[in-house]
Structure 1
Amino acid sequence: MVQETVFGNVIQFLERLGVYDVILPFILVFTIVFAIFEKTKIFGTEDVEGVKTAKKNLNAMIAFVIAFLVIASAQLVAIINKSLANIVLLLLISVCFLLLIGSFFSEKEEVKLIGGWRTFFMIVMLIGVVLIFLAAITTSSGKSWLQVIIDSVVNNFDSTAVSSIVLLIVVLIFMMYIVREPKHSHVGKSGHGEDNNDKEHH
């Protein structure tokens, strides 16, 4: 039998108050939508002491309404809560992975992802986030969209449509690899320097 604790009772009390189902999702959606409106300035700007700034009153009101509409739907709130928990778990896994990599370097060496490795991990994180949201969204039968997609692929793996999609993905990856721009080397700079020196001697 699990023993009840003071902090555990506090968490349960906050849950009964609706903090996790109403207040936190509302604050999260409001903050994200308001930040997007402020960054994109989609509803226009206004002059404040000669500086063009976003219309904060309008952005805040629209973000407030959108956040209220989101928390009004129990399904959307459930998707947000489930997705965010898995996204935080994905973030912790990536941080732990970087910590393990950093243990092989000395204190003076800077550890950071550059070039192809950074692109690779960005793609992996994007795929992970998409899969998390697909797993959180459920159909009327109770199955998640991810499970429906997996079942469709497994059941129709030998069909022409699935084979065509796989072939198309392989061709796109191959084309992206072929047409990507090569990295610029520093040989040209040194060559120019030698030319300049030759000109000075002449």
Structure 2
Amino acid sequence: MVSEVFRLEGFGKILESWGLMDALLPFLLIFTLVFAVLEKSKILGEEKRNLNSAIALIMALIVVIPHLTGNLPAGYDPVLVINSALPSVSLVVVAIVALMIMIGVFAHEKIMLGATMPGWIAFISVILLIIIFGSAAGWWVSGFDEWLDSTFGSDALAVFIMVVVFGVIIAFVTGGEGEREKVGALKRMGFDFGKLFGK
């Protein structure tokens, strides 16, 4: 049998037993963040790298050593707070990057908040990401997806989504540059909300 070290799961357990999550990673995270803030803000003056690194080292040790010795109450242990909060922060970062990818793929016309995106594409992308991540996290346990599948069938839903996606792509491809400036994206797809509200 292969040694436990050469299997990824066994290697992870060995690193965990050495204190990777309890000592090394929180220490490196705190040291790096404090050092970067001190270097960028230049609180101690110009070219004070040695002082910045010493202060960052001391602050990281002040956080990690009481955790290792167990001298902190459970609710006030910064390492436990960091270890429980960072996966959620990482999930938010992944969701934001996925949103930027979706907007970058589907939208290039209008500048809003410094990014190129029509507002409705950003709104649809946010809704889709909430649905995707909520489904992966098990938030939607009401059985709505089973109801859709039993009512319409998975093939009908797939065809509907495909028709909508291809309709949007065709609307963007066939519209000329001059038309795009005069006519909005929704009007090119047949939605005229101005007539609906009497404008």
Indicate the TM-score class for this superposition, using the shorter chain for normalisation. Answer: 0.3 to 0.5
Larger RCO (CA within 8 A; separation ≥ 6): 1
Normalization by structure 2: what TM-score?
Answer: 0.46
